[in-house]
Amino acid sequence: MPHLSARALLAAATPRRLALRERGVEIALLDFGGSGPLALAHHANGFCKGMWAEVAHALRGGERVAATGARGHVAEVAHALRGAVRVVAMDARGHGDSSRPEGAHAFAWREFARDLAAVAARLAAESGGPLALGIGHSFGGTSLLGAAHERPELFERLLLVDPVTPPARALAGPERAEHVAQMVDAARRRRSEWPSRAEARAWFAERSLFTDWTPVALDLYVQDGLRERADGSVELKCPGEVEGAVFAQGEALDLAAWAKGLPQPARWLWAERGNFPLERYEALAGAMARARVERVPAGHLIPMEQPELVADAARSLLAGG
């Protein structure tokens, strides 16, 4: 992967907002440009649209750009991103620059899936046809599965990047409930503000969660995942209470029903150092018409650790592999 500037990549993308009035939310997008097939990407819980910048860059065979001096390199990056796959990334409700609805069920995973389907429908209408590819990471991959179940005609192919796969309710024991409760509690207690972006980055860099991230991925999170306040300090755009609410409401899903019979060619990327049983992926993929599981030597946060690996899988899927 070439050396990239996170600031330059974000500056070269086009931000926009979609008012989904029927859904009661506004969804923020980043359009990374390109004239080729259209891919819609959805991030993991607690993260943001900007995390797809390295994958988008790789999908265009982007040229090397300097890691500093961002504004002077915007034109160079924009030139590098012309052609190839056009990636549009979205912020989920309550995340990034999207709106945050209220109510006990606002963060049910079916709502994320329906938002994703609504965004895909708008983009498909604009482009005159179905999206060539849906890409979803972690809970974004699970949401993509739900969106494709609801509106299968909107997606020609699906790339599910280590999606969250809660066990069926009948198989979920007390250990699972305890695990979810721990995730919810950890999210709600997560630190959410820092005196500056530089101090936030230094704090993140010391945490094990970010150990295997590329330096650019960490910069992307600092640039797009934090909001600057009037006094110059910064805060997470997705607060811990939202991240925790998402974790808490992921257990009511019937993924087998979502996966059953989906007709699109689909690829499930299973992280060998991730958190989910391979057998669960194989069973869900087996319920789909044209899906297969690919093992990848990575942790759960694949797009931030090995963006080129995700881009390779997308290219292969688009080429019919």
pLDDT surpassing 80 at residue 272: yes
- For residue 295, what are the CA distances in angstroms to 83, 187, 222? 29, 28, 30
pLDDT surpassing 50 at residue 78: no
CB-based contacts of 176, cutoff 8 Å, min separation 6:
166, 167, 251
Q: What is the pTM of this model?
A: 0.91
Q: Between 94 and 252, whose confidence is greater? A: 94
pLDDT surpassing 50 at residue 82: no
pLDDT surpassing 70 at residue 273: yes
Looking at the domain assignment, is residue 154 inside a domain?
yes
Dist CA 4 CA 77 (whole Å): 9
Confidence class of residue 251 from pLDDT cuts 50, 70 and 90?
Answer: low
User: The domain that contains 262 carries what CATH number?
Assistant: 3.40.50.1820
Q: What's the pLDDT at 150?
A: 96
Looking at the domain assignment, is residue 224 inside a domain?
no
Q: Please choose, from the candidates 175, 141, 179, the residue with its C-alpha nearest in 3D space to the C-alpha of residue 255.
A: 141
Looking at the domain assignment, is residue 232 inside a domain?
no
pLDDT surpassing 80 at residue 61: no
Dist CA 244 CA 240 (whole Å): 6
pLDDT tens by residue, 285-309: 999 999 999 999 999 999 999 999 9
The C-alpha angle with vertex 153 and arms to 41 and 112, in degrees rounded to 5, equals 45
Looking at the domain assignment, is residue 55 inside a domain?
yes
Confidence class of residue 311 from pLDDT cuts 50, 70 and 90?
Answer: very high
DSSP 168: P
Q: Please choose, from the candidates 102, 99, 120, the residue with its C-alpha nearest in 3D space to the C-alpha of residue 42.
A: 120
Domain hosting residue 307, numbered range: 6-172+254-318
Q: What's the pLDDT at 62?
A: 58
Looking at the domain assignment, is residue 272 inside a domain?
yes
Residue carrying the six token digits 């009511």: 252
Mean pLDDT estimate for the chain: 90
Provide, rounded to the nearest whole percent, the portion of the chain with pLDDT above 90. 78
Looking at the domain assignment, is residue 161 inside a domain?
yes
Looking at the domain assignment, is residue 41 inside a domain?
yes
Query: In the chain, how many domains are there?
Result: 1
Looking at the domain assignment, is residue 18 inside a domain?
yes
Provide, rounded to the nearest whole percent, the portion of the chain with pLDDT above 70. 89
Q: Between 34 and 170, whose confidence is greater? A: 34
